Structure formats: C-alpha cells, structure tokens
Chains A and B, each alone.
Chain A
C-alpha cells in the first residue's frame, strides 16, 4: 500500500476541527517554517521536492514561485485555485471537505514563503457547502493565532479569505480566475504579463491548485529531498487521483507516482476493476481535456512496456499513442460505452464553457458540437469526420488560453483511435441507434 502524505487522516472523526487536526500533527509545517526557516529556505525545499502543479499543467511549483516579482512596497498574493471543474476531477473537493485545515496550513506556509500577506481561496460556487466548512476552519485558525497578526510570535501577518465563483469552467484557468476574483467575467488575459508580475489587482501573484498547496505541508515537514525520493524520475511524491466511470470502486485515491495503471484499475487497494464484470474499452487518464486511450494502450505503452501513473509514462508515445496525467481525473469506459456519444458530450461541454473571447474557440467549439451531434444521431457523413479534423487544426494554438486546445485534442484523439466506430455510425446509422459498437481492435490484432 502506498504512503499517504495528504489524506491519511481524512476519515478520522472530527478531523475537520482545529483541535483534532492539531492532535494529528497539524500545523507543524507552520511552526517549522515560521520559527526556523527563512521564506527563501521554504521555496528551496519546494524546488528540491520536484513538486509539479497538481491542477493539470504539471509545471514545477518551486520554479513558478521563484518567478514571483518582488518590487519594493508592492503587495503580493497567493491565490488558491479551488475552482475544480475539469470533468473527471473531484479530488480537491474531497481534500477540502475532509481536511480543511490541511489546505489552510498549506496556504499559511506557502504565503510565508512568497511574502504574501493577503491570500485568497477561490472555490467554485457549486461547492458552497465546502466553502462553509473552510470558513469555519479559517475562523478557528484565526482564533488559535495561526492567521492574523504576528503568527506564532514570528512577526509575520496573514489574512486569508475564501470566496466563491459562479459556475464557469473557464475560471479554472489562472488569469480568468483572477479576472473573476476582481469581480468580472472570466475572460482569460493575454500573457505576458504573467500573474507572477501582474496578477490580482495588478500585484505579483502566484496561483496554485489546492493539492499543490496541500503538498507543501509534507514537503516542509519532511524536507524536499525526502519527498523527491517518492515516485519515479520527474514525477515525485504522491498524487490524488479521481477515479470515475464504469469502475467497481470509483472515488479519490492517493497514490505514489509510479504505480502501474494495471494495479490502479484492477488492484484490491484501488478501483477493483471494471464494474459488472465488463471489459475495459477506453480510458481518459487525466481529465476530459487529455487524449482518450483505447483499451490496448491503457495498461501498456505502444512499445509494450507497463504504463505507469506518472507524467512521463502516461505521455509516452506523444499524441500518437499516449495521453497525459493532467489533473488526475481518471475516467474509465466499459465495453458498452459509445465513443461518438461521449466525444459529442465533451464537445458540448466545451462549447458551453467557451468564454467567447477568441473566435476560433467560440465558433469552433460550437461547430464541433454540431458535427458530432450529427454523427451521434445518425445524420453524419464521412466528410464530417474530416471536417472535425479541419476545425481542430484551426482552433489549436490560435486562442488566448488553453480551452481551445482542451476542446480540440480529445476530439482528435477519439477519431485517431476510434475512426472505425465513427465511420460505423455513418455507414450503419440505424444499427448505431440500437446497439453499441463494442471494443475496437488493436492495430496489431487486426
């Protein structure tokens, strides 16, 4: 069984309260950092840990922190991205609901490292009940001297506020989140300037995912080097995986990076296989924005090696035969699922969530949705499949933020691996309405 650095105590009764959390070693990283380390030393530990952003992009957190501009007399901010809205991802909700003080502890230690004195948690509006849990925990932290003036006599002051979104996927993109936090529509900003230079209200700002901030706690407690020993190569530490779809036991799991995909799907300690004794058809391993993998590329790479739960192994083969770890939103399809229907479903999602700022994304996501609707509902043509590929090429790389790419890549991957199933929908529209295509054959088996 893997070590758990984040959610080991998640199911302890009362762990959402300050007192119980403290009894289980909570706030040790705040004491260690504020009493014995300089802010730069904390940044150094995070760099050594090799921690990569857990929201999806996988950018090294320590490096992101080191880009933060520190002009004299200008306030800096840490903003926690708790907008968790990538379909397939629900780990941050679990962490915040069960262990609100872990996030608050991470916010204090990280804010100290960055020299931020006013930090914010931006949580999606639909998680209002989680916001209430965080508000209560923040009040407890103030009452116990962990927030406010002169924390633990260190001379360091910090105010922490949690505030809701209003229902917009795009606000998980960090510059859209900042716009939203300023009380505006969530339209992503052009970069540069990056938030590290001009972020919230024009001040230098770091935006980090909930899980990244929580991971700072064990990193400071145990040291960056110890953390980096867990995992494989540049995939260090543990990762929360949200498992959904047709699994015996879906849910949130903390794994050591490097676990095999086989073990994660079928192992007794994890998802225990495909529900109802069905066969695996496909898997989207990192949230709806990453490429789908057909069953023969899920547990093995194209080269035949074991596929591992790491940034590198899930991407092995590039877009031709790989995918991405992304946010860890692990979506599993059984043999009865229709890839065309699912691709249409996600295309509808992106069309709905495009902020409308860039024409290629605003128009392109809508077109893809319409074309996929035709294919799914039996009125598509073979040209529609090429049309989708054309639209794709005109969206990717031509938008301010990555939503356009996130909408285009999954469609491209679905066609790449499941072209036969798309063509079957065109050639046998009647049949496609009455049954599912079933498993696609691996090229070698064909």
Chain B
C-alpha cells in the first residue's frame, strides 16, 4: 500500500531489529530535547538499510518512534528521492544521468547495463538481484560516468569495470 492511499495510516507498524533501534536512538540523541523530528532522514536511511526499501508500515513505526503524525513521515519520505517506496532488488544501481556525466558517456553506460541485465530503467531483474535506476547529479562529475550502489561510488566506468562490478555484487549477495 502506498503512502498516498487513504487507508495508509491504518497499516500496522512493522518491527525494526534491535540493531536498527539502537542506531535510531543514537541519531535521535544527536538533537536537542523536543527536536527529535530532525533525525527523520537519518532514521529513514536506517530503515532502508535494514529492509532495502521504506514501506508504509515502516513509516508508521517511524511516526510512533519520533512522536509525530504518520503524514509527517509520508510527506518527507515521498519528497526525498533516495528513499525507495516500493520493493527493490538486492543491489540498486543508481546511475547518474546529469550533464557532466552525460558528456563523458552516461547514456551509453545506461544502455549497456540495460542490455547486460535485460531490464529497463526502473525495473528489477527476475532473480531480484538488481534494480536499475537513473538519478540526478551525485557530485562525482570529474569521475564520470558513474553509479552509486549501497552508498558506494563506482566511478570512471567502462564495460569491463561494469562486468567486474556486477559479478562482485552477485557474489557478495549470494554469500
């Protein structure tokens, strides 16, 4: 169910792991008393780190933790593009498509990954291993074309490097 669904608020809050909860409490503690809402982006990153994406049930739990209304979480999670509001593959490849990367071949990079994984931008491979997305400028313009996966930057990419990268990701996700 999506955050903009009228019934969203009724979806049962899901449980987070003890590790995630400990980290959530740490980041909330970084802000002064009564300003815990400031930690919301950190909290949503932690939730996404655990589940791979941010469900309505997870957002409802975040609202309870921060002592705010569910709508305050939905409006934030839907505004910031890093949060995946649908299930994604184990490895989300976010390829920069903005000007400076385009000058050095990001269009070709996107096409190559589409062919290699047999999916289009926005889709997930059948085995659930990879999701391909395009994103706007990631601040790596001098080292393009590039992509980000799990907060890691893969830069100055060419076909060989992409092949190696995909193999390594596959291996890491299977082990």
Q: Which residues of B55-99 have CB atoms within 8 Å of chain A's CB atoms?
A: 66, 72, 75-76, 79-83, 97-99
Q: Which residues of A386-406 have CB atoms within 8 Å of chain B's CB atoms?
A: none
Does B38 contact A185, Cβ atoms closer than 8 Å? no
Q: Mark A245-256, 1 if CB is under 8 A from B, else 0.
A: 110001110000
**Stretch from B114-122, B141-149, B167-175 that touches the partner:** B141-149
Q: Mark A237-251, 1 if CB is under 8 A from B, else 0.
A: 000001111100011
Interface size counted on chain A using CB atoms at 8 A: 55
Q: Does B139 contact A (CB under 8 A)?
A: yes
Which chain A residue has the least Cβ–Cβ distance from B138? A126
Docked pose: A344 CA to B76 CA in angstroms:
28
Does B136 contact A169, Cβ atoms closer than 8 Å? yes
Does A90 contact B136, Cβ atoms closer than 8 Å? no
Q: Does A161 contact B (CB under 8 A)?
A: yes
Q: Does B12 contact A (CB under 8 A)?
A: no
**Stretch from A176-184, A309-317, A422-430 that touches the partner:** A176-184
Among the interface residues B41, B72, B135, B139, which one has the most CB atoms of the partner chain A within 10 A?
A: B139
Among the interface residues B27, B44, B72, B138, which one has the most CB atoms of the partner chain A within 10 A?
A: B138
Does A164 contact B42, Cβ atoms closer than 8 Å? yes
Q: Which residues of A356-401 have CB atoms within 8 Å of chain B's CB atoms?
A: none
Docked pose: A225 CA to B5 CA in angstroms:
60
A125 cross-chain contacts in B, Cβ below 8 A: 41, 45, 80, 82
Does B136 contact A353, Cβ atoms closer than 8 Å? yes
Interface size counted on chain B using CB atoms at 8 A: 43
**Stretch from A29-37, A81-89, A190-198 that touches the partner:** A81-89
**Contact A331:B151 (CB < 8 A) given known A125-B45, A183-B39, A252-B142:** no
Interface of A, helix, strand, loop or mixed by DSSP: mixed
B42 cross-chain contacts in A, Cβ below 8 A: 163-164
Which chain B residue has the least Cβ–Cβ distance from A118? B32
Q: Does B102 contact A (CB under 8 A)?
A: yes
Q: Does B140 contact A (CB under 8 A)?
A: yes
Among the interface residues B38, B42, B103, which one has the most CB atoms of the partner chain A within 10 A?
A: B103
Among the interface residues A163, A169, A183, which one has the most CB atoms of the partner chain B within 10 A?
A: A183
Does B35 contact A349, Cβ atoms closer than 8 Å? no
Among the interface residues A161, A169, A284, which one has the most CB atoms of the partner chain B within 10 A?
A: A161
**Contact A244:B144 (CB < 8 A) given known A125-B82, A169-B137, A181-B38:** yes
Does B99 contact A87, Cβ atoms closer than 8 Å? yes
Does A85 contact B139, Cβ atoms closer than 8 Å? yes
A243 cross-chain contacts in B, Cβ below 8 A: 142
Does A124 contact B45, Cβ atoms closer than 8 Å? no
Does A349 contact B37, Cβ atoms closer than 8 Å? no
Beyond the given A86-B137, A341-B102, please list 10 additional residue pairs across the A-B interface where CB-CB is below 8 A.
A129-B152, A163-B30, A163-B41, A166-B41, A244-B144, A331-B99, A331-B103, A342-B99, A345-B102, A349-B136
**20 A-B residue pairs with CB within 8 Å:** A86-B137, A87-B100, A126-B151, A127-B139, A164-B42, A166-B76, A166-B79, A168-B80, A168-B81, A183-B76, A185-B75, A244-B141, A244-B144, A245-B103, A246-B104, A284-B99, A329-B141, A332-B103, A345-B99, A355-B79
